[in-house]
């Protein structure tokens, strides 16, 4: 679980390394904080259907005898989708929307395994602030 949390965290605040932190933009962290208070049902309602399906029903081969292989394939598949979708973002608005979506996905997944989404959002807000983000 720790490794998955680290990977999810990387997806969330890597966009801040593209200049979002330094831009003075404050809306992203406000939304992250609000998301921490939402139920998994509410978070799922706010995830675009394409991403929800991609996250929960990836089109990868499943070997039910080796769940770790599935987890690794799903992770690779997801990372590729993120790179393909967000790898060439240019505006702060695009980066903001990508960061918000990644936080929604991460918190939704975290809730589904019993993690405290409020605690995680606060942790990631703190990390983002340590990287220069403002609220």
- 114, part of any domain: yes
Q: Write out 105-116 in H/E/C secondary structure.
A: HHHHHHHHCCCC
Cα angle 130, 107, 4; round to 5: 80
DSSP track, 73-102:
HHHHHHHHHHHHHHTT--SHHHHHHHHHHH
> Quick check: 78 and 8 in contact, CB under 8 A?
no
- 135, part of any domain: no
Question: Using only C-alpha atoms, what is the Rg of the chain?
Answer: 15
Positions of the chain with pLDDT under 50 = 1-13, 15-16
Distance of CA 88 to the CA centre of its chain: 17
Altogether, the residues listed in the chain come to a count of: 135
Please give the residue range of the domain that contains residue 13.
2-130
DSSP state of 24: T
- The pLDDT, as a whole number, for residue 8 is 44
**Structural domains of the chain, count:** 1
End-to-end CA distance of the chain: 29
- The pLDDT, as a whole number, for residue 7 is 42
**In this structure, is the dihedral angle defined by the CA atoms of residues 72, 19, 101 and 110, taken in order, positive or negative?**
positive
What is the H or E stretch that residue 53 is in?
A: helix 49-56
Total-model pTM: 0.82
Digit-coded pLDDT (tens) for 31-44: 999 999 999 999 99
């Amino acid at each position: 679980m720790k490794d998955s949390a680290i990977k999810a965290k990387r997806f969330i605040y890597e966009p801040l390394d593209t200049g979002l932190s330094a831009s003075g933009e404050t809306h992203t962290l406000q939304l992250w904080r609000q998301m921490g208070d939402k139920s998994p049902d509410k978070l799922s309602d706010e995830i675009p259907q394409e991403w929800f399906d991609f996250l929960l029903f990836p089109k990868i081969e499943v070997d039910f005898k080796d769940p770790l292989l599935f987890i690794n394939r799903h992770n690779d598949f997801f990372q590729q989708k993120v790179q393909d979708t967000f790898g060439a973002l240019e505006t702060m608005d695009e980066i903001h929307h990508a960061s918000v979506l990644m936080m929604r996905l991460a918190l939704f997944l975290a809730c589904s395994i019993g993690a405290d989404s409020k605690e995680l959002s606060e942790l990631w807000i703190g990390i983002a602030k340590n990287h220069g983000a403002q609220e």
